[in-house]
Structure 1
Amino acid sequence: MSHPAGHARERLGPVSPRGLHNLLPPVVAWLITNLVSWLVAKESVAGDGSEVAYWSTGGRRRWDSAHYLSIAKTGYEMFWCRDRYPNFRDVMCGNVAWFPGYPMSVRAASATGISYEVSAVVVTEVSLFGMFAMLWWLLGARLTWATGLTLAIGTVFPGGIYFHAIFPIATGTLALLVCIVGVKRNSWAVAAAGGFVAASCYPVGAVAVDMLLLSAFFAWQKDTWPIRFAKAGMSAALAGCGILWTKWLMWQATGHWNAYEILQKSSYTQGDLRQPFGEMRKAYAFPFSDWYRPEGHLPWLVEHSLTAHRTQLWLNTAFILLILATAAVLLVRNRRLEVEEWAALILTLAIFFLPFFAGAEMSWYRNHAQMFVGLILVGRMSRWVQVPLLAFCSIQYALLGAMFFSGVLV
C-alpha cells in the first residue's frame, strides 16, 4: 500500500530552497477546490442567482455561522431564552457553545475596514490556502504522482465543503498542520502555537494536546529522554491554554467558568461521554431529508443527495481503515514511522472518534473534515489506492456540497 522505503525517504528529505518557494501546486489546489465548490453550488440552487450563490457571503452561512459572527462583533453572552423570547422553551440561549479562535481572527481582519461577513470568508479562504501550503511542505514539496494525487484528494476531501463556509474548520485544520510542522521541525514553540490555535478554534482541536503529550515517544529524538518529556509537556500545556483562554473569555462575559458546559447541557443535552458506536448509529439515521427538506422543485443533484451524510460516514470509516493499513505497512517495511506520520495518525484517529464520544449527532461530518491532516499518510499510499479514493471523494464532495448549499445540512 505504500511506496518503497527509499522513495518515501527521498520525498521526505530536506526540502530545497527552490521547493520551499514553489507554491504553484498549493495555489492550483486552492483554485480547483473553489472551482469545484462553485460548480456544486451552481447545480444545487434552483432559480435565478444560482451562479453567484457560492461567491456571496450568504451562500457560505449556515446555522452556527451566525454565532461565530456575533462573537466577532459583540463578544459572548448567555441568557435564559424566555427572557427575550416569551414563547421559547425554558432553556439557556447565547453563543458560549462556540469557541473564540476563529471569531477573534474575523474581528482582527475586520479592522481593515471590510465587513465582518467578508472578513469571515477571507479568513476561511486564507486558512484553506495555508492548509494546502502546509500539506505540500509536509509531503516534501516535490511534485510526483503521489503528492499530486494527494493534493487532488485534498481539493475534494470528505466534509471539505466546510473549508469554504463561515465556520472555523479551515482555520482549525491549518493550526493542526502547523502543530505537526512544529513537531517535525523540532520546534516545541511552533507546535504549541499551532495547538493553542487549534484548541481555541473548535472543540475537536483539543486533540492536539493529546498528540503533543504523546510526542515524547516519537519526536524530539535528538534530545535526551528528560528533554523530550519536557518539550512534549510544555508544548501540550501551552496548547491547552487555548481552552483556558476560551473559558476566560466566556467567564469575563457571563460570570461563569463553565458557561460552555451550562449551555451545552441545557440546550443540546450534551456534555457527558457517550457510547461512540451507538452515537454512530444515531448520526447515520438522522432524518435530514425530513427535517430540512427544501420546498418546491429540487435540482437533480440535491434530490439525490438528501441522505449523503450516510455515504459520508461510510467513506470516512473507509478513510480511517486506509490510514491504519498504510501506517501498518510502513511499520512493517520501514520498521518505523516518520514524526509527521505518527502525528497525523494520532490526530486522525482522535478526530474520527471524538465527535461520537461527545454526541455530535448533527455536526460530526464537519468535525471529521479536520481529518484532512491524514492526507500526510495518503501521500504514502500506492497510486492504485489513491486514484479510487480520489474518485469516491469527488462524488461524495458533490453530494455533501449539494446538501450544504441547499440548506439541508446545518
Structure 2
Amino acid sequence: MTEPTRRVRRRDGVRRLLPPVAAWLVANLVSWLVAKASVAGDGSPVAYWSTDSRHRWDSGHYLSIARSGYEMFWCRDRYPSFRDVMCGNVAWFPGYPMSVRATSATGLSYEISAVLVTEVSLLGMFAVLWWLLGARLTWATGLTLAVGTVFPGGMYFHAMFPIAMGTLALLLCVVGVARGSWALAAAAGFVAVACHPVGAVAVGMLLSSAFFAWRGDAWPIRFAKAGSSAALAGCGMLWARWLMWQGTGRWDAYEVLQRSSYRQGDLHEPFGEMRNAYGFPFSHWYTPQGRLPWLVEHSLAAHRPQLWLNTAFVLLILATAAVRLLRDRRLAVPEWAALVLTVAVFFAPFFAGAEMSWYRNHAQMFVGLILVARMSRWVQVPLLLLCTVQYFFLGAMFFAGVLV
C-alpha cells in the first residue's frame, strides 16, 4: 500500500469518527446548558463538570460496591432510629462498579473513575450506533444521532449509573447477531445482564434470534447458537449472585433486600405500575429550597410527560417495523433485534414495579434508534423537537435533586 493511499484511508477513518464524536460532544453541551439553567437541591448553582452533579442516591451504592464489595445488614443494627428493614447494597448489580474499580487502579478517585466509565460508554454508544446505521452521514442518520443526544432519560447517560454501560452492551449484542458473531453476542449479553436487571432483555432477544439471525446456518445450528448465547448472557446474573454470596453468605441476598426495603422482586401487573409511576409525587419528597429558576419550577412533575413521550416512542418503533414489514416483507437483523429490545426495555421496569426508576431504565431504549433511522423526516424532526424540550425539563428535575 502506497503512502498516499494510507493517508486517504486515515482521512476517511477520521471522517467516519467525526459524527459520533460530535454527537457525544453535543450531548454533553446540552446537558451542561440544562445544568446551567438549574439549581441543586440545596439551592446552589449546579457545576455540571463536578462529580457531585453526576451523583444520585443509587450512585452511592455503586461506589460502595466498587470500594469494598457487597454487604447486607439489619438497618437498626447501625441506625437505631431507622425502620426495621434490611439495608445494604445487594440490590445493585456489579458490572458497572467492577469497571469503576478497575479504572480506579490507574490512581483516579472512584468518583472520577465512575464518570469516566460512564462518558466512555456513552461515546461508545454513539460509535456503535453509527456503525449500525452504516457510518454514512445522511439526513436520516444525522437526525437519528441528533435524537440520541437528547434521548428520553438520557441525562442518566452522564450520571454515576450503569445505564450508559448497559446500553452500550445491548448495542454490541445487536452487532453480534447482525454480524453472526456468536461470541460477541454472548459476551455483550453477559455484560448487559451484569450491569442492570433490565439487561436481562438481552437474554430474551438472543433466544428469539433463532428466528431472524444466523441465517447462514441450518435451523438446528440457529437454535443452538441462540440458546447457548442466551445461556452465556444469563451467566451475568450468576456472576452477580456469586459476588453477593461472597459478601453476605446468602444466595438470596438480592431478593431479601428487594422485598424488605423496596417491595420488589416479584412480578407486577405492568399497567397498574404505569399508573403508579405516573402519579408518583416526586416533588412532595424532594423539593429544592429557595427561589427556583423557571425551568426547575415547571419541571417538578416532568416524569409525567416523560411517560407519554416514552410510550409514543415505543409506538413509533412498532409502527415503523410494521410499515417495513408490509412494504419490504422483511426487517434487517439489527432492526429485529432493536424492535425486541426496545419493547422489552419499555415493559421491564413495570413488571418489576420500579415506580421510582423507570425513567432511567427506559433510557436503554436508545437501541430503538436503529429503527428511528428508517422513519420519515416528517416523523424524525417532530420527535427531535419533543425530545429536546422534554430533555430540558427532566434534566432540570434531575439536577435539582428531585429525581433519584
* 1:384 equivalent in alignment to 2:373: no
Asked if structure 2 preserves the Cα contact closer than 8 Å seen for 1:20 and 1:137, the reply is no
Which amino acid in the other structure matches residue 142 of structure 1?
A: R
Amino acid at match of 1:394: T
Q: Write the deviation string for residues 358-396 of structure 1: whole angstroms up to 9, x where unpaired.
A: 100000000000000000000000000000000000000
Paired residues for 1:48-67 under 5 Å: 50=45, 53-67=47-61
Q: Does 1:87 align with 2:81?
A: yes
Within the candidate set 135, 139, 145, 1:145 is matched to: 139
Q: Does 1:106 align with 2:126?
A: no
Tell me how far apart the structure 1 counterparts of residues 82 and 280 of structure 2 sit (CA, whole Å): 24
Matched, 1:166 2:139: no
Specify the code of the residue in structure 2 equivalent to 1:399. F
Deviation at 1:233, TM superposition (A): 1.0
How many residue pairs match? The answer is 394
The DSSP-based 3-state class of the residue aligned with 2:73 is strand
Asked if residue 42 in structure 1 is aligned to residue 42 in structure 2, the reply is no
Q: Letter of the 1:300 partner, please give it.
A: W
Aligned pair 1:185/2:179, yes or no?
yes
Q: Identify the residue that residue 4 of structure 2 maps to in structure 1.
A: none
Deviates more, 1:41-50 or 1:370-379: 41-50
Matching of residues 121-270 of structure 1 within 5 Å: 121-270=115-264
Post-superposition CA distance 1:86-128 (Å, at most 9, x none): 1111100000000000000000000000000000000000000
1:201-350 to 2 correspondences below 5 Å: 201-350=195-344
User: TM-score by structure 1 length?
Assistant: 0.94
Report the Cα distance in structure 2 between the residues aligned to 1:283 and 1:246, rounded to whole angstroms. 27
- How far off its partner does 1:53 sit? 1.2
Give the conservation status (yes or no) of the 8 Å contact 1:181–1:340: yes
Bigger CA drift: 291-300 or 141-150? 291-300
Residue pair 1:216, 1:232 contacting (<8 A) in 2 also: yes
Report the alpha carbon displacement of residue 271 of structure 1 after superposing the two structures with TM: 1.2
**Is 2:26 the counterpart of 1:32?**
yes
1:367 aligns to 2:382 (yes or no): no
Write the distance in 1 (CA, Å) between the matches of 2:297 and 2:44: 19
Does the CA-based 8 Å contact 1:159-1:397 persist in structure 2?
A: yes
Q: Shift of residue 258 of structure 1?
A: 1.0
**Structure 1 vs Structure 2: percent identity of aligned residues?**
79
1:133-165, Cα deviation, whole Å (9 max, x unpaired): 000000000000000000000000000000000
CA RMSD after TM alignment: 1.4
For structure 2, the 5+ residue unaligned runs are 1-9
SS of 1:23's equivalent in the other structure is: helix
Normalization by structure 2: what TM-score?
A: 0.96
- Distance in 1, matches of 2:111 and 2:316, equals 38
| Cα distance per residue 1:246-299 (max 9 Å; x no partner) | 000001111111110000000011111111111000100001111111111111
Is the CA contact 1:20–1:141 (under 8 Å) kept in the aligned structure 2? no
Cα shift at 1:18: 4.0
Q: Is the 8 A contact 1:93 1:263 kept in 2?
A: yes
